[in-house]
A and B are shown apart, each in its own frame.
Chain A
C-alpha cells in the first residue's frame, strides 16, 4: 500500500458512519479513540477474573512499540532485560484494578475529563516479579522514601508527561512488575511489556509501559503528582475546590459494590437472581447487602468463596419481589475493616473514587 492509498484508506475508515458497524454482543464502550480509553459494560463484569479482551483500557498517551530484544528496564542506571527479570522469583497477585476516575460521570456537579460510568474496573491475575526483588537485583538500597516511575508514553510538546512516584514502603511491600495478565502475555493496551501492580490502590499508581525506575527521597514532581490524582484532606460541599497543598495523593480504593445482573422485568413472588461484585482498598469484603425499600431494610447477599487480598468478591442474592411497580434495588458493601459504602459519594474536583450505593430499577408486575 503506497502512502496515498494508505491515507485514503485511513480517511475512509475515519469517515465511515459509526452506525454501519453492527455492535458485537461482547463489546467495550469507547470513551476515547486516541489515546485509547474504553470501559467494560457493567453487565459483562460477571467473571471472577475479567477476561483480558473485556478489561477496561485507560491511556494517558500512546506508548512506543516495544521490541522485546532491545527493551531494557533502567533501574537507577542499571539495565535489566526481560530475560534478567524472568530469572527472578515469580510473583503473582489477583486483585482489582480501578481507574481513579471510574464513576466520574455520576458526580454532581459535572466535571471535565473522561466520563467513566461503571466499567473502568476489573479483577485480574497479574504475574511477574516483585518490585523489591528487582530493586535488590539492581543493587538499589532500601533507604529511599519514594520510587519514581517512567513509562514509554511521553506525550508531545508541552503536554505534561505521566510521570509518577509511589511511596517506597508500599512498593517494597506487595507491588509487582507484571508481564502477564490472567496467564497470558500482558497485552500492549494494558502496558506491555511491563506494568506496575499496586494491590488495593487506584489505577493512577499502576504505571504502564514501564521503562525506568529511580529511587529518591522526594516524591515525583509534575502535573500528575502535584495537581491531579489528589484527594481533599477535608472534603467540602459538592462544588468546593481545594488548592493542591490542601490535598493528598489518591491511594487506597474506597469500599464499593455494583449490581451487574438484575432482571429488567419480573413478577411479584417470583425469585430473581441478583448478582454483582464488591471490592475495597481493605484486603477483603465482609458483607454485601441489597435493599428494595430505599435503604430502610437490607438483605444480605451470599459472597462467592473465590478471593485473594484486594481481589473483588462476586456476590448473589435470590430476591423475591413482594410488591408490584417499579422497584429500585440498592447495593452496599462493608469491607473487612468495617468501612461501609455510603449512600452518596464524596464530590471532589477531579471526580475520583465514586462509590455511592449503586441502584438498578426493576419493573414488577402481578
Chain B
C-alpha cells in the first residue's frame, strides 16, 4: 500500500497521465500484481513479443527485484504472449501537453 501511495502521489501531479486497463482473461491478476509494482499497463500493451521474449523479460524483471511467485510465472508469460504477441497493434493514448 505504501508503494502504491508513493506511485500515485508521484503520478497524480502530472495532469496528462491517463491509465489504461488490461484486457480480462486468465493471468490478468497475476500480471497486475507483478508488473504494476513498477510499470503502468501501457508499457505492457505496446509490446509485440514472442513467448520466448516475454519469458526473458519476466526473468529480467525478477532479477531486478520484481516480486513474482514462481507459481505465477507461466500464467504471466502466457497472458502477456497471448495479448501482446507479435501481432499486437498498439495505439498510444493521446494526453494533454505538460505545462
Chain A residues within 8 Å of B, Cβ to Cβ: 10, 13-16, 18, 21, 23-24, 26-34, 36-39, 51-54, 57, 62, 105, 110, 112, 114-115, 155-160, 187, 189
Contact = CB atoms under 8 A, between A and B. Distances in A.
B46 A33 contact: no
Interface string B40-54: 111100111100010
Contacts, number: 113
B57 to A, nearest CB: 5
Contact of A30 (B16, B57, B63): B16
A34 B95 contact: no
A115 B47 contact: yes
Contact of B10 (A29, A34, A53, A110): A34
Interface in B7-29: 7-8, 10-12, 14, 16-21
Given A13-B19, A115-B46, A30 B93 contact: yes
Interface residues of B, number: 39
B64 A158 contact: yes
B43 A62 contact: no
Contacts of B14: 36, 189
15 contacts: A13-B19, A15-B21, A27-B96, A31-B42, A31-B92, A32-B39, A32-B40, A36-B14, A51-B97, A105-B46, A110-B49, A114-B43, A158-B65, A159-B64, A189-B14
Contacts of B18: 18, 21, 30, 33
B93 A18 contact: yes
Contacts of A13: 12, 19
Contacts of A27: 16, 94-97
A24 B47 contact: no
A105 B48 CA distance: 9
Contacts of B12: 10, 13
Contacts of B99: 53, 187
Nearest to B5: A7
A38 B10 contact: no
Interface string B57-82: 10000011100000000000000000
Contact of A158 (B8, B40, B53, B63): B63
Contacts of A157: 64-65
The interface centre, meaning the residue of B8, B19, B48, B94 with most chain A CB atoms within 10 A of its CB, is: B94
A25 B43 CA distance: 24
Contacts of B49: 110, 112
A79 to B, nearest CB: 26
Nearest to B53: A112
A291 B10 CA distance: 46
A301 to B, nearest CB: 28
B17 A28 contact: no
A62 B7 CA distance: 9
Nearest to B7: A34
B17 A114 contact: no
A110 B48 contact: yes
Closest 9 pairs (CB-CB, A-B): A33-B40, A158-B65, A157-B65, A23-B94, A29-B92, A53-B97, A115-B46, A62-B10, A27-B94
Contacts of A24: 94, 96-97
